[in-house]
A and B are shown apart, each in its own frame.
Chain A
Amino acid sequence: MNARPRANGAADVMLDVKNLRAYYVMQYFGTQREVRAVDDISLQVGRNEIYGLAGESSSGKTTFIKTIAAAIRPPLTVIGGSIRYSFLDRDIYKLDRVALSAIRWRYLSYIPQGSMNVLNPVRRVRESFIDFALPHMGLPKQQFFAAIIAHLERLQLTPGVLDAYPHELSGGMRQRIAIALATVCRPDFIIADEPTTALDVVVQKSVLELIREAQREIGSSMIFVTHDMAVHANISDRLGIMYAGRLVEEAPTAEIFRSPKHPYTQHLIASLPRIGDLSAKRALTGAPPSLAEPPSGCRFHPRCPLAMDICRETHPELVSIDPRHRVACHAVSPAVGPDRVFAAAAKQRTGLVQ
């Protein structure tokens, strides 16, 4: 196992992903096919930060977090890039299985979707806590359970849930138990995969508050994935927008909502209902592209209202337009010059950009 305080690079970067590519590689009758679910993604997550990851279904969000959690199994394969956590002295894929399970939960934990099937249906909740947390906490059983009960009470759960089977609990309770399980070892980094998607909005709100509180209290960093922009507005400090396996825009949440730059992000924001806004919401035409045969150039160009010739030929790099804001779009990158492009595209505008 590797020592915890060892920082790597900048002191405040907890997770540093560089040029990560993870493909589903399949062999059919001798021909190899690739699905490029995560293609050249670089991002950093700071200490105490909640980094939100948004994007529609099949944009590669889940593949990305599975990959950074080192929880992939074939056919998903890491093709290139690096994943460095500040609590590890090397890339997470350079660890053997024993070292990997030693850092899990203690340093790196995971909040899954609030579905029926996250907890073993034939084990009491108490046994799940023993399985997940006891080996990482290193406490005698009595103290261990005292710690668990105190933690459950902080998350508004009664100690009685420990003796229940998962099917005896409501969806919201199960989700809170999953949060309790993921935070009880006070991990440095938490990966949350759509933890509120299966819940109704009332429960969703309390669960979000709990996640936020737990994260503040233990001071960990978090990657929070959901397609729901309203949830991101509530919880994320910074937002990354994914489209077809690539990161297309990244900025502090408030800035993304205030001035989205990428046409896809603009559409995403414009589609949110607002109080007092009675205009009809427009759906983006077309469907997300196949990741097995992504479009040439910019992957968004077949659906983009601003598409130009260059968009079909070369794919735009993710460039900083100010220190905290990165965009991958020819229309806004300085090489082409945003003003000229916006003027040219103004005729085709569809009321998308406000």
Chain B
Amino acid sequence: MRTYALYLVRRFAQFILVVFIGINIAYLITHLTPVDPVEQAISSVTMFGQSSPEMVEVMRKTLRELYGLEGSAWEQYVSFWRRMATGDFGPSLSAFPTPVSTLIWQALPWTLGLLVSSTLIAWIVGNFLGGLAGYYRKNSLLKALGILAMSLQPIPYYIVAFILLVVFGFLWPVLPISGGAEMNIDRQGFAFAASIVKHSILPALSLVLVGLGAWFIGMRSLVSNIVTEDYVTYAELGGVDRRRILFSYVMRNALSPQLTGLALSLGAIFNGAIITEFVFGYPGMGTLLVRAVNAGDYSLVLGITSVSIIAVASAILVIDIIYPLLDPRVARS
């Protein structure tokens, strides 16, 4: 147990370091952007008429102050971390003065709900079917599934998304194709929840179909390697119950690498969602990020990036923490 505690401490320190470095890189990149939000705002004001240069200069100074851009680069950097420590990302520049954190908090539940559920569904179903297909190599239904998975897997998810849009939005219009929920209903209760689920079916399906193929193929090849391992042959020779062999011997041993993959794809949720959310007009982080980039709103970009860095790192941390419980060999090394 002591080794495990030590492992936890070490792993947590690693987590802090990764988050720190990641946010620093994001900070650097967003502040090196040639798009100046102050000039962006001034040009949108001056677009409709002449202003005197003195007025523009006053406006520029006021905006720099409001956006927190005065002082040397070092002072800006220090004040950024001071604010970060309290969870404050500053005001959004494009939706001034709404705080970045408010915008993120509004978008985050949508993205998390859509992506966590579709990633988990794809992972569970894909691995289960892939495991069966690797173990029962001769089953023709599972063989057909393998061919289907293999043909779906290389298709980019946004192509699948467009096909789904055409099929279920145009040819057979049964599902809503845009938005997170109906606008004109009470934002509470069963009807609202049902509306959310209904709106999420198409975007989720586009992600699940593609993700499932990848998990299926990965698990199938892992399992077909593991069935030739000595301990599986030995268990078969020992007349161990076939279902026990499939789950406790074959799938359990194939699970460890797949869990790492799950952590990584949970982490990749934020960029994976961007196009899907955009295609389906889903009110999540992806749509928010695209808007922020277009507006040169780098405090919002930095806020979203920081949240996703923390999310990726925590997902991997959580997986690493439960890994030793699944594979006792990890905690030792």
Contacts and interface: CB of A to CB of B under 8 A. Distances in A.
Contact of A131 (B233, B244, B253, B329): B244
Given A122-B253, A132-B240, A110 B234 contact: yes
Contacts of B253: 120-122
B237 A131 contact: no
Given A117-B230, A120-B253, A135-B241, A167 B329 contact: yes
Given A122-B252, A165-B329, A167-B332, A117 B229 contact: yes
Given A115-B230, A120-B231, A120-B253, A110 B238 contact: yes
17 contacts: A69-B237, A71-B237, A102-B239, A105-B238, A110-B234, A110-B238, A117-B231, A120-B231, A120-B235, A121-B329, A122-B252, A122-B329, A131-B241, A131-B248, A132-B240, A135-B241, A165-B328
Q: Which 4 A-B pairs have the closest CB atoms?
A: A104-B239, A101-B239, A117-B230, A132-B238
Nearest to B326: A122
B236 interface: yes
Contacts, number: 73
Given A100-B239, A120-B248, A122-B329, 19 more contacts: A69-B237, A71-B237, A105-B239, A109-B238, A110-B237, A110-B238, A118-B231, A119-B231, A121-B329, A122-B252, A122-B327, A122-B328, A123-B249, A123-B252, A131-B238, A131-B244, A132-B235, A165-B329, A167-B328
Contacts of A181: 238
A199 to B, nearest CB: 16
B191 to A, nearest CB: 46
Contacts of A118: 230-231, 234
Interface in B275-333: 326-329, 332
A120 B241 CA distance: 14
Interface residues of B, number: 23
B180 to A, nearest CB: 41
A186 B326 CA distance: 33
Contacts of B240: 101, 131-132
Given A120-B248, A120-B253, A112 B235 contact: no
A267 interface: no
Interface of A: 69, 71, 100-105, 109-110, 112-113, 115, 117-123, 127, 131-132, 135-136, 165, 167, 181
A109 B238 CA distance: 7
B230 to A, nearest CB: 4
A112 B328 CA distance: 23
Interface of B: 229-231, 233-242, 244, 248-249, 252-253, 326-329, 332
A131 B236 contact: no
Contacts of B235: 120, 131-132
Contacts of B332: 167
A257 B240 CA distance: 40
Contacts of A132: 235, 238-240
Contacts of A165: 328-329
Contacts of B252: 120, 122-123
Contacts of B236: 71
Contacts of B234: 110, 112, 118-119
A167 B327 CA distance: 11
Nearest to B250: A120
Nearest to A112: B234
Nearest to B333: A167
Contacts of A71: 233, 236-237
B207 to A, nearest CB: 30
A119 B248 CA distance: 12
Contacts of A110: 234, 237-238
Contacts of A136: 239
A104 B238 contact: yes
A272 to B, nearest CB: 30
A233 to B, nearest CB: 28
B234 to A, nearest CB: 5
Contacts of A119: 231, 234
